[in-house]
Amino acid sequence: MHSVLDPPPIDAAGTERRAAESRDPATGELWRRVSSASHTDVADAVARARAARAAWTSLSTSRRADHLRGFRRVLFRRRWEMAELIERENGKPAAEAMVAEVLSVLDMARYYARVAPRLLRPRALRPGDPAVMRKKVRIHREPFGVVGIIAPWNYPLLLSAGIALPALVAGNAVILKPSEYTPSSGLLLGEMLREAGVPADVVQLLPGDGAVGAALIDCGVDKLFFTGSTATGQRVALACGARMIPCVLELGGSDAAIVLDDAHLDRAVRGIVWGRFSNAGQTCVAPKRLLVSAAVYDEFLARLTSEVEALRLAPPAGGACDVGPLIRPWQGEQLRAQLADATAGGAWVVASSGRAETLHEGFFPPTILAGVTPDMRVMREETFGPLLPVMKVSSDDEAIGVANASSFGLSASVWTRDAVRARRIAARLEVGSVVINDVGVNAAMSEAPHGGVKGSGAGRSHGEEGLLECVRSKTVISDTLGWGEPWWFSYTPELRRDLDAFARFAHGRGLRERLSGVSRSLGMFFRARRS
C-alpha cells in the first residue's frame, strides 16, 4: 500500500490511476488525497488476507464477538469524530450522520456480537424420510474466506460496517474498498476495527475507483458484496459469475410512498420530507415516487409545499442546515436532466426551497414536481437527489399498480391509520421491505434483513440473513452402524417390489395403503443390514 497524501501513482501498465479524494462537497475543497491501490496491491492484500484468516477463523465465535464489542466501545468513544468526518466528506450534517450511521452501526456491533454465537453454532437435523432417518446430520456454518466489499459514498460508514461486522464475526477476512469519494471515512472505520484488536491483515482497506473493485473480483475474493448503481451492479455480477464468485448486490431503488385518504397527514408530510431530503436525497430507500389519494391530495400537497419551502439548503458546517450539498456537482446533472424531461412532458414544480447565489450548483434545491405521469424519467429512473415527483391516485389498486410498475423493487412506505388495509397493500407490493407510517428505518435496523427484488439487487444484508450471507453451510451426514443400504448394487426384481412397498409405506394415501407396505419395507432394510 502507498502512503496517504501523495500523488496518484502510475501502475505497471503505465496508466495513471485515479486517486481517491476527500473533498468538502460544500466547497469542492480537496483536503486529502489517498493513493489508489494498484492491481498488485489488491493481489497482495488478498494473499495476506488468505494467510491471516486461518488464525482468525480458528478463534471461537464468542472471541470474535468480543472484538465487535471492542469496536463498539471505540466507535462510541470516537462517535463525533466519525460523524464530523462524514459531514466533511459526504456533506450530510453531523447530526444526521450520527442518527443514520453511527448510532445504527453501534447497535449492529452489539446485535451481531449477541446473535452470532447462537446462529453460527453447528445445528443437528433429524431427517423425516424413513429411509435415512437413522443418520446423524449436522449443518456447520463456515466462513467463505476472504470477503470483498465495494462500498458506496452515500452512507460510507453504515453501508461498509453493516457488512464488514457480520463478515468478521463469521470468521472471514475482509477487504473493503471505500468509495473513491469517501476514502477517509472508510480508512477511519478500518483504524477503529484495528484499535479494537482485529488483526491488520484480517481487515484491509483498499481505496480506489472502479479498477480496484474490478481487481478485487479478478484476484479471486471468495464472496463479494457490492452497493451502488444497478448498471455497475450488473457489470459486477457478470464479472463474479465468470469466476463463480457469489455476490450480494444492494442496488438502487425508486421507492413509492403511498399516502391513503385516512393517513395522519402531519406525520406523513414530515416523514416523507425527511425520508426524501435527508442526505440531500442520496438514499437508496428514500421515497422517490409519491402517490397520494385523490381525497387528500390538495391538502397534502399544500402542507408538503410549506414544509419543503422551509428546508434550509446550506453547507452543513454552520449547523443551520437541513439539506446539504450533493456529493459532487455532477450528481446534479442527472437530476436536472430528469427534471427537464418531466417539465417538457407537462409536469410543473410546485415547491422548491431555492438556492442562494453563494452556493454552487452541487447544492440542489429540494423540489416537488406535480403533474407527473408514469412514463417520465423521474418515475422510471432512480432520482438520486432532492427531487420528489407527486402523483394523484384514485384507489388502492391504482397506487399498487403504479408502485409496482418499476424496474426497481427496493422498498416502499404506506401511510394510513388502517393497519389491516396497510398490510393488505404491503402484501401486494413487489419490494424487499415495506414500512407503514414510517420511512427509511428499514435500511438501518440491525435485526431486519435489507435488500431488494428486481433491479434493486439480490441477497440481503443486516439481520440474521445478513450474517448467513457471510457463511456457507456445510452438511455433514454420518452413519456409524456399518449396515448396507437396500438401494446399493445389485438391482433385482425383488428390489423393485421392495421399493414399491417402501413407497406405499412412506408416501401412500391413507393408513391402509401405508400399512400394506410396512412388513416388506422392514424386510428390505433387514436384509440390507446383513449384506
Near ligand NDP by CB under 6 A: residue from 52, 149, 150, 205: 150
Q: Let me know how long the chain is.
A: 531
Q: What are the backbone angles phi and psi of residue 480, rounded to the nearest 5°?
A: -110, 10
CB of 152 to ligand NDP, least distance (A): 3
Judged by beta carbon, residue 148 or residue 316, the one nearer ligand NDP is 148
153 binds ligand NDP (CB under 6 A): yes
User: How far is Cα 341 from Cα 343, in angstroms, rounded to an integer?
Assistant: 6
* CB within 8 Å of 275: residues ≥ 6 apart: 257, 283, 285, 286, 287, 413, 439, 440
* 210: contact with ligand NDP by CB under 6 A: yes
How is residue 1 annotated by DSSP?
-
Q: Which of 145, 202, 199 is nearest to 176 (CA)?
A: 202
Binding range to ligand NDP, per CB under 6 A, among 64-72, 226-234, 271-279, 313-321? 226-234
Q: Distance between CA 156 and CA 36 in Å, rounded?
A: 17
Q: Write the interaction track for ligand NDP spanning residues 368-387; mark x where CB under 6 A is met and - where it is not.
A: --------------x-x---
Residue linked to cell 435496523: 445
Between 363 and 384, whose beta carbon lies closer to ligand NDP? 384
Q: How far is the CB of 230 from ligand NDP (least distance, A)?
A: 8
Candidates 42-50, 138-146, 209-217, 360-368; binding stretch for ligand NDP (CB under 6 A): 209-217
Residue among 113 and 217 whose Cβ is closer to ligand NDP: 217
d(CA 438, CA 415): 8
Shorter beta-carbon distance to ligand NDP: residue 56 or 155: 155
Backbone region of residue 60 per phi and psi (left: phi > 0; alpha: psi in -120 to 50; beta: other values) = beta
Q: In whole angstroms, how close is the CB of 213 to ligand NDP at the nearest point? A: 2
Catalytic site residue from 250, 307, 382, 464: 250
Looking at the Cβ atoms of 179 and 406, the one nearer to ligand NDP is: 179
Per CB under 6 A, the list member of 39, 235, 514, 520 interacting with ligand NDP is 235
| Residue showing cell 441477497 | 459
Interactions with ligand NDP, residue window 485-504 (CB under 6 A): none
Helix (H) / strand (E) containing 326: none
Can 321 be counted among the known catalytic residues? no
In whole angstroms, the minimum distance from the beta carbon of 65 to ligand NDP comes to 28
The whole-angstrom separation of Cα 279 and Cα 439 is 14
Which amino acid, 103?
A: L
SS3 188: helix
Count of residues binding ligand NDP (CB under 6 A)? 23
- Report the DSSP beta bridge partners of residue 434: 412
- Site residues for ligand NDP, 324-343, by CB under 6 A, read 331
Q: Which of 520, 525, 448 is nearest to 479 (CA)?
A: 525
> Which stretch in 36-44, 149-157, 427-435, 469-477 sits in contact with ligand NDP by CB under 6 A?
149-157
DSSP of 397-423, one letter per residue? HHHHHHHHSSSEESEEEEE-S-HHHHH
* 218 burial type by CB count under 10 A (0-12 exposed, 13-18 middle, 19+ buried): middle
Q: Which helix (H) or strand (E) holds 222?
A: none
Among 74, 75, 251, 501, binds ligand NDP (CB under 6 A): 251
By beta-carbon proximity to ligand NDP, the closer residue of 251 and 256 is 251
Residue 438, Ramachandran bin (φ over 0: left; ψ between -120 and 50: alpha; else beta): beta
CB atoms within 10 A of CB 423: 12
Please tell me the number of Cα atoms within 13 Å of 346 on its side-chain side.
Answer: 7
- Minimum CB–partner distance for residue 187 and ligand NDP (Å): 15
Q: Quick one: cell of 311? A: 428546508
284 part of the interface to ligand NDP, by CB under 6 A: yes
The strand pair at 247-250 and 457-458 is best described as: antiparallel
Q: Which is nearer to ligand NDP, 99 or 239 (CB)?
A: 239
With 0-12 CB in 10 A as exposed, 13-18 as middle and 19+ as buried, what is 356? Answer: exposed
Q: How far is the CB of 5 from ligand NDP (least distance, A)?
A: 21
Which residue has 463479494 as its cell numbers? 224
Among 43, 214, 349, 453, binds ligand NDP (CB under 6 A): 214
Which lies closer to ligand NDP via its Cβ, residue 457 or residue 486?
Answer: 457
Query: Which residue do the cell numbers 435500511 mark?
Result: 443
Minimum gap (Å) between residue 391 Cβ and ligand NDP: 21
> Which grid coordinates are listed for 302?
399544500
Among 85, 236, 393, 435, binds ligand NDP (CB under 6 A): 236
Per CB under 6 A, which of residues 168..197 are in contact with ligand NDP?
179-180
- Which residue(s) pair with 368 in the sheet? 351, 388
Catalytic residue, chosen from 284, 381, 464, 469, is: 284
Q: Which is nearer to ligand NDP, 370 or 444 (CB)?
A: 444
Residue range at the interface with ligand NDP (CB under 6 A); choices 41-49, 132-140, 232-240, 520-528: 232-240
Task: Rank residues 145 and 228 by Cβ distance to ligand NDP and give the closer one.
Answer: 228
User: Which one of 230-238, 351-359, 419-427, 522-530 is the stretch in contact with ligand NDP (CB under 6 A)?
Assistant: 230-238
Kindly tell me which residue out of 227, 279, 338, 446 binds ligand NDP, with binding defined by CB under 6 A: 227
**Applying CB under 6 A, which of residues 154, 182, 411, 416 lies at the interface with ligand NDP?**
154
Residue 225 binding ligand NDP, by CB under 6 A: no
Question: Residue 406 CB, nearest distance to ligand NDP (Å)?
Answer: 14
- CB atoms under 10 Å from CB of 513, counted, come to 13
Output the CA–CA distances (angstroms, integers) from residue 55 to 50, 198, 202, 219, in the order listed: 10, 11, 10, 22
Residues catalogued as catalytic: 250, 284
Binding positions for ligand NDP, rule: CB under 6 A: 150, 152-154, 179-180, 209-210, 213-214, 227-229, 232, 235-236, 239, 251-252, 284, 331, 382, 384
